[in-house]
C-alpha cells in the first residue's frame, strides 16, 4: 500500500470518530505482578537434540524449541482404533486443525491379548503410524502404559495379566514388572529409528496413567523405558490424582486435564460434583472430576512442587462418549469454554482427549471395550469410541473443530510470549456454583502486556449478561482501565482481549476484539481479529509509534477487507475484523499475504436416501438390571437382549461414489442401536440425541452388496439413565419409545459438520 495514501486514509478515519458519553461502570479489577524468571536446570531429560541440531527443552513456564518458548497444540488419536488406510488423511485433518503433536496410547491388550503372541500388524502397527506422523510433519508423544484405561478392557491389561491375583499390579512387584519389561522392550522395537534423537517424530513418552500411589513405581517404569532404549527429551506422567509423595523433582513432567462433564459419574444429574469449576478460571491444575468413579478426588489441590513445572495439559475434553447409564452429549460450546478457561488459567500446552474418535479393533478373546461385566465401572459401546470429538471416528468434522482451529491459529502466532505469562485471578471471584452474578475472568501477563480472558458460559446453566463492565488492571507500571466506555458482556459468550500488545512495532493499548493471526513481514503486516458478538469493536493505540495523532478506532464493522491502516515509522500495519462465521472459516496457508487462505466457502453435499425394509418389530421391552454394590447403575444390554430388537434391512444405492467418503447417517429414538453386516457386529450406538453414523468406505466393497441390518431396542420412559435435556424424547402416554426417523447417506467430502447436534 502507498504510505502517502495510507496516511491520508488514517487521517480521514480518525477525523470521523466519535465518542460516547460516560456512564456508570462496574469496574472489575486484578493486580498483576512482574513474574519471576523461568527456572530450569533440574529437569531430567533424555537426549534433547535431533540430528539436524534442533533441540527440545523445558523450563518452569513452558516447553522450549531451540531454546525459545513455544506453545504447541496436542491432540489424541489412537492408532489401533483407526484403520491404517485412514491414518494419513486423518492426521492431515488434525494438522489442518492446528495440532502440532499427536498423543496416542499403546494398549497392551491390543498387542499381546494372548501371552507371548505379539501383534503389531495392520492398524496395530505402531512403527508405521509413527512413520506416517513424521511424514506429515507431526511430533508424537507415546503413552506407554502398562495401564492406560482409555475405556479399554481391564484398562489395557491383557486378561492373563489381570487374572494374576498374586501379583500386585501397578507396583514394583517384580512378578508384575517382569512382563512390563517385555512390553517396554516390544514398544522400544516399534520406536527404533522414530525417536527424536534419530530424526524421528517421537519427542516424549508417558508412563502409566492416572496413578496416585508410590512414586517408586513410576520411577521404575522410567528406568525400564530407558534401559529398553527409549531415549526421549520428555518423560511424562498425568498430574492427577494428587500424589502424597511427589515424584523426585524434574523426573517426570505432570500433564493435566479438564472435562465439562463426565460419562463416568455415578450421578444421573447433569454437572455433578465440581465440574462447574472447569467453567471458571483457577490456578490449581487438578480437575477433581476426571475419573471420579475410581479416583474419588473430592478436594481440589495439586501435588506439592507442581508450580516447579510448566502448566501442560493432555486431556482437555475435546468431546465425550455416552456410557450406558450416562448419555453425555456436549454442546460444542462446552468444549470451547473449558478450553478457554484452561488457556486463561495458565496452560502452555493445549492437549485434547480425544481430538479424533475411533473404533475398537477386533479381539481374539473378547470385545476389548470397558464393561461392568469385566469389573470396570462403566458400560461403553462394543465398537464405537467416537467420543463426539472434533474429528469423529469416521473423520466427521464436528463444530468445535473450527473454533479450536481459530484458537490454534492464535497460539501459533502469539503463543510464544503467552506461554511465559502466568495467570492472575481477579480480586472478586465466584463464591460457589450458584454464583452467576460475578463475572468469570482472568489475566495472563508479563507485567506489562497480556490478555484478559472472559467466560460467561456454563454447560446447561444460562449465565446472564454482565452490564457496564470495565477491566481495571493494576500493573507494575501503572493502572490500565479499559475499555474507555463500559460494555455489556453478553450472556453465554466467552472470549479474550489483548492489552499493551505489540503489533508490528505499534502498541495496541487494548482491543475489544479477539486476535487470531498475522501475515506479512518487513514492516508490512496484516493482523486478523474476530469480533466479540454483542460488543462493538474498539482499537486503541499508543500515538508515539504512529505517523498521525489519532489513536482510537471505534464501532468497527466486521468485513473481509481491512478496517483501517496505520502508518508507522517502520512501515504500516492493517487490521481486518471478521465476524464470527468468517473467523471460524478462516484458514492460514502461509505467512505471505499472497498465500493467505482467507475464508472457506461452504461446500455443497448431496444427501441420498436408502431403501429400508422392516423385518421384525420390537419384542417385549427389556427390564434394565442395576449393578450391585455402591454404584447401583444401569447395565447395558447383551447379545441375547437383541432378540427383542426391531430389525430393518438396509439396501445401499447401487451407484455409490466412495471417493466422496459416504457416511450412512441414522436418525432414531430408542435405547441402543447397532448395525450388523452379514451377521457380524460392525458398529453400535447408545442413544444420546446425536446421529448414528457409519463410514461406508471402511466396509467396502462387502457392504455394497452384503446383508446390512439395523437393530434397535426401545427406550423405557423410566430408564435409570441420564439423558441431556435436549435429547429427552416426548413419550406422551407411552411407557417406551422406538422410532426410526430416517436413514440417509451424506458425503463426508463437502459436509462441514455432523448432524444431530
237, pLDDT greater than 80: yes
Q: Of the given ranges (39-53, 107-121, 570-584, 601-615), which has the lowest mean pLDDT?
A: 601-615
- Give the model's pLDDT for residue 592: 62
Q: Of the given ranges (319-328, 581-590, 601-610), which has the lowest mean pLDDT?
A: 601-610
Q: How far, in Å, CA of 619 to CA of 643, rounded?
A: 8
* HEC letters along 645-662: CEEEEEECCCCCCHHHCE
Q: How far, in Å, CA of 398 to CA of 330, rounded?
A: 11
Q: Which CATH class is domain 607-747?
A: mainly beta
DSSP letter, residue 113: S
- Give the model's pLDDT for residue 749: 80
Q: How far, in Å, CA of 270 to CA of 728, rounded?
A: 13
Q: Are strands 722-723 and 611-616 parallel, antiparallel or unpaired?
A: unpaired
Q: How far, in Å, CA of 395 to CA of 252, rounded?
A: 33
- Give the model's pLDDT for residue 598: 53
Strand partners, 31: 474
Listed in order, strand segments (DSSP E) in 234-304 are 234-238, 253-258
Q: How confident is the model at residue 600 (pLDDT cuts 50, 70, 90)?
A: low
The helix (run of H) or strand (run of E) holding residue 416 is helix 400-419
Task: Read off the C-alpha cell for 558.
Answer: 466486521
2, pLDDT greater than 50: no
Whether residue 161 contacts residue 169, with contact meaning beta carbons closer than 8 Å, is answered with yes
- Give the model's pLDDT for residue 752: 44
Residue keyed to cell 508410590: 214
Average pLDDT over residues 335-351: 98
Task: Read off the C-alpha cell for 468.
Answer: 457496564
Which residues 6+ apart lie within 8 Å of 421 measured at CB? 35, 444, 445, 446, 450, 451
Q: Of the given ranges (233-247, 598-612, 684-698), which has the lowest mean pLDDT?
A: 598-612
Q: How confident is the model at residue 655 (pLDDT cuts 50, 70, 90)?
A: confident
Listed in order, strand segments (DSSP E) in 106-201 are 139-143
Task: Read off the C-alpha cell for 308.
Answer: 516447579
| Length reported for the chain | 757
By the 10 Å C-beta count (0-12 exposed, 13-18 middle, 19+ buried), 659 is classed as exposed
CA nearest neighbour of 627 among 636, 619, 639, 617: 636
- Give the model's pLDDT for residue 12: 37
656, pLDDT greater than 70: yes
CA nearest neighbour of 445 among 398, 401, 493, 497: 497
756, pLDDT greater than 90: no
Rg of the chain in Å (alpha carbons): 27
Which residues 6+ apart lie within 8 Å of 163 measured at CB? none
Range list for CATH 2.102.20.10 in the chain: 3-35+424-595
Task: Read off the C-alpha cell for 141.
Answer: 508423544
Mean pLDDT across the chain: 93
Q: Of the given ranges (59-63, 122-126, 239-243, 570-574), which has the lowest mean pLDDT?
A: 570-574
Whether residue 141 contacts residue 236, with contact meaning beta carbons closer than 8 Å, is answered with yes
4, pLDDT greater than 70: no
Task: Read off the C-alpha cell for 289.
Answer: 472430576
Range list for CATH 3.20.20.80 in the chain: 71-417
* HEC letters along 603-642: CCCCEEECEEEEEECCCCCCCCCECCCCCCCECCCCHHHH
The helix (run of H) or strand (run of E) holding residue 424 is strand 423-424
CA-based angle 98:103:104, to the nearest 5? 135
Contacts of 286-290 with CB under 8 Å at 24 or more apart are 286/239, 286/240, 286/241, 286/242, 286/256, 287/240, 287/256, 287/257, 287/258, 287/259, 289/258, 289/259, 289/261, 289/262, 289/265, 290/210, 290/240, 290/257, 290/258, 290/259, 290/262, 290/315
Q: How confident is the model at residue 288 (pLDDT cuts 50, 70, 90)?
A: confident
Q: How confident is the model at residue 301 (pLDDT cuts 50, 70, 90)?
A: confident
CA nearest neighbour of 240 among 260, 259, 216: 259
Q: Are strands 506-511 and 73-76 parallel, antiparallel or unpaired?
A: unpaired
Whether residue 436 contacts residue 463, with contact meaning beta carbons closer than 8 Å, is answered with yes
- Give the model's pLDDT for residue 561: 96
By the 10 Å C-beta count (0-12 exposed, 13-18 middle, 19+ buried), 42 is classed as exposed
235, pLDDT greater than 70: yes
Q: Of the given ranges (134-138, 209-213, 663-667, 751-755), which has the lowest mean pLDDT?
A: 751-755
% of residues, the chain, pLDDT over 90: 86
What distance separates the 2 farthest-apart alpha carbons in the chain?
A: 83
Task: Read off the C-alpha cell for 208.
Answer: 502409566
Q: How many CB atoms lie within 10 A of CB 107?
A: 31
Q: How confident is the model at residue 606 (pLDDT cuts 50, 70, 90)?
A: low
Burial string for 727-745 (b: 16+ CB within 10 Å, else e) reads beeeeeeeebbbebeebbb
748, pLDDT greater than 70: yes
Under DSSP, is residue 732 helix (H, G, I), strand (E, B) or coil?
A: coil
Under DSSP, is residue 158 helix (H, G, I), strand (E, B) or coil?
A: coil
CA nearest neighbour of 568 among 527, 529, 517, 531: 527
Q: How confident is the model at residue 291 (pLDDT cuts 50, 70, 90)?
A: confident
CA nearest neighbour of 139 among 234, 223, 67: 234
Average pLDDT over residues 227-239: 98
Q: How far, in Å, CA of 135 to CA of 92, rounded?
A: 10
What is 3-35+424-595's CATH superfamily? Beta-galactosidase, domain 2 (2.102.20.10)
Whether residue 334 contacts residue 455, with contact meaning beta carbons closer than 8 Å, is answered with no
- Give the model's pLDDT for residue 13: 38
1, pLDDT greater than 80: no
Q: How far, in Å, CA of 529 to CA of 247, rounded?
A: 43
Range list for CATH 2.60.120 in the chain: 607-747
Under DSSP, is residue 206 helix (H, G, I), strand (E, B) or coil?
A: strand
570, pLDDT greater than 90: no
CATH-assigned architecture of domain 71-417: Alpha-Beta Barrel (3.20)
40, pLDDT greater than 90: yes
- Give the model's pLDDT for residue 580: 97
- Give the model's pLDDT for residue 750: 57
Task: Read off the C-alpha cell for 10.
Answer: 488514517
C-alpha dihedral, 563 to 567 to 572 to 578, nearest 10°: -10
101, pLDDT greater than 80: yes
DSSP letter, residue 363: P
Under DSSP, is residue 508 helix (H, G, I), strand (E, B) or coil?
A: strand
CA nearest neighbour of 106 among 194, 193, 207: 207
Amino acid at each position: 500500500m502507498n504510505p502517502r495514501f495510507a496516511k491520508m486514509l488514517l487521517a480521514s478515519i480518525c477525523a470521523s470518530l466519535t465518542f460516547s458519553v460516560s456512564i456508570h461502570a462496574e469496574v472489575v479489577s486484578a493486580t498483576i505482578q512482574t513474574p519471576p524468571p523461568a527456572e530450569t536446570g533440574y529437569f531430567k531429560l533424555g537426549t534433547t537434540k535431533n540430528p539436524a541440531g534442533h533441540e527440545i527443552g523445558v523450563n518452569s513456564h513452558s516447553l522450549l524449541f531451540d531454546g525459545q518458548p513455544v506453545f504447541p497444540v496436542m491432540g489424541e488419536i489412537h492408532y489401533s482404533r483407526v484403520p491404517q488406510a485412514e491414518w494419513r488423511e486423518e492426521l492431515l485433518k488434525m494438522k489442518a486443525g492446528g495440532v502440532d503433536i499427536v498423543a496416542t496410547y499403546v494398549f497392551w491388550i491390543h498387542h499381546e491379548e494372548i501371552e507371548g503372541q505379539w501383534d503389531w500388524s495392520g492398524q496395530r502397527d505402531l512403527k508405521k503410524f509413527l512413520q506416517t506422523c513424521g511424514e506429515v510433519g507431526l511430533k508424537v508423544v507415546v503413552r506407554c502404559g502398562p495401564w492406560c484405561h482409555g475405556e479399554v478392557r481391564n484398562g489395557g491389561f491383557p486378561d492373563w495379566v489381570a487374572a494374576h491375583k498374586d501379583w500386585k499390579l501397578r507396583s514394583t512387584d517384580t512378578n508384575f514388572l517382569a512382563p512390563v519389561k517385555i512390553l517396554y522392550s516390544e514398544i522400544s522395537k516399534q520406536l527404533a529409528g522414530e525417536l527424536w534423537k534419530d530424526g524421528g517424530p517421537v519427542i516424549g513418552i508417558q508412563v502409566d496413567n492416572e496413578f496416585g500411589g508410590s512414586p517408586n513405581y513410576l520411577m521404575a517404569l522410567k528406568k525400564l523405558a530407558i534401559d529398553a532404549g527409549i531415549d526421549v527429551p520428555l518423560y511424562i506422567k498425568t498430574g492427577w490424582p494428587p500424589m502424597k509423595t511427589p515424584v523426585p523433582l524434574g523426573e517426570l513432567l505432570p500433564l493435566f486435564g479438564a472435562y465439562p462433564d463426565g460419562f463416568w459419574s455415578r450421578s444421573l444429574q447433569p454437572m455433578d460434583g465440581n465440574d462447574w469449576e472447569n467453567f471458571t478460571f483457577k490456578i490449581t491444575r487438578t480437575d477433581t472430576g476426571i475419573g471420579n468413579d475410581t479416583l474419588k478426588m473430592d478436594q481440589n489441590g495439586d501435588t506439592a512442587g507442581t508450580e516447579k513445572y510448566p502448566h501442560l495439559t493432555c486431556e482437555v475434553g475435546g468431546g465425550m462418549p455416552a456410557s450406558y447409564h450416562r448419555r453425555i452429549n456436549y454442546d460444542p460450546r462446552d468444549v470451547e469454554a473449558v478450553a478457554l478457561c484452561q488457556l486463561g488459567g495458565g496452560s502452555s500446552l493445549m492437549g485434547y482427549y480425544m481430538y479424533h474418535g475411533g473404533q475398537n479393533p477386533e479381539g481374539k478373546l473378547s470385545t476389548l471395550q470397558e464393561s461392568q461385566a469385566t469389573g470396570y465401572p462403566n458400560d461403553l459401546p462394543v465398537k464405537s469410541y467416537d467420543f463426539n470429538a472434533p474429528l469423529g471416528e469416521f473423520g466427521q468434522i464436528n463444530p468445535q473443530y473450527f473454533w479450536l482451529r481459530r484458537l490454534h491459529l492464535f497460539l501459533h502466532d502469539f503463543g510464544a510470549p503467552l506461554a511465559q505469562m502466568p495467570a492472575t485471578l481477579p480480586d472478586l471471584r465466584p463464591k460457589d456454583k450458584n454464583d452467576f452474578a460475578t463475572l468469570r475472568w482472568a489475566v495472563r501477563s508479563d507485567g506489562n502486556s497480556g490478555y484478559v480472558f472472559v467466560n460467561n458460559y456454563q454447560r446447561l446453566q444460562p449465565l446472564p449478561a454482565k452490564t457496564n463492565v470495565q477491566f481495571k488492571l493494576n500493573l507494575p507500571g501503572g493502572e490500565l482501565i479499559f475499555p474507555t466506555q463500559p460494555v455489556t458482556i453478553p450472556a453465554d459468550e466467552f472470549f479474550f482481549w489483548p492489552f499493551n500488545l505489540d503489533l508490528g512495532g505499534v502498541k495496541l493499548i487494548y482491543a475489544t476484539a479477539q486476535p487470531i493471526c498475522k501475515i506479512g513481514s518487513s514492516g508490512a503486516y496484516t493482523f486478523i481479529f474476530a469480533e466479540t458478538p454483542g460488543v462493538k469493536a474498539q482499537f486503541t493505540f499508543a500515538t508515539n509509534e504512529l505517523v498521525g495523532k489519532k489513536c482510537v478506532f471505534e464501532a468497527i464493522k466486521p468485513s473481509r477487507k481491512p478496517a483501517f491502516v496505520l502508518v508507522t515509522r517502520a512501515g504500516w500495519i492493517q487490521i481486518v475484523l471478521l465476524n464470527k462465521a468468517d473467523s471460524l472459516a478462516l484458514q492460514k496457508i502461509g505467512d505471505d499475504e499472497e498465500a493467505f487462505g482467507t475464508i472457506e466457502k461452504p461446500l455443497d453435499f448431496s444427501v441420498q436416501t436408502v431403501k429400508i425394509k422392516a423385518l421384525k418389530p420390537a419384542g417385549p421391552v427389556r427390564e434394565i438390571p442395576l449393578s450391585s454394590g455402591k454404584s447401583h447403575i444401569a447395565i447395558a444390554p447383551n447379545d441375547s437382549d437383541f432378540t427383542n430388537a426391531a430389525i430393518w434391512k438396509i439396501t445401499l444405492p447401487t451407484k455409490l461414489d466412495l471417493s466422496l467418503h459416504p457416511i450412512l447417517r441414522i436418525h432414531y429414538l430408542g435405547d441402543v442401536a447397532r448395525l450388523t453386516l452379514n451377521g457380524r457386529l460392525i458398529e453400535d450406538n447408545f442413544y444420546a440425541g446425536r446421529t448414528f453414523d457409519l463410514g461406508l468406505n471402511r466396509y467396502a466393497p462387502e457392504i455394497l452388496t452384503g446383508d446390512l441390518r439395523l437393530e434397535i431396542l426401545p427406550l423405557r420412559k423410566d430408564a435409570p439413565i441420564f439423558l441431556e435435556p435436549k435429547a429427552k424424547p416426548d413419550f406422551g402416554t407411552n411407557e417406551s419409545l422406538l422410532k426410526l426417523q430416517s436413514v440417509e447417506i451424506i458425503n463426508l467430502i463437502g459436509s462441514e459438520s455432523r448432524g444431530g447436534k
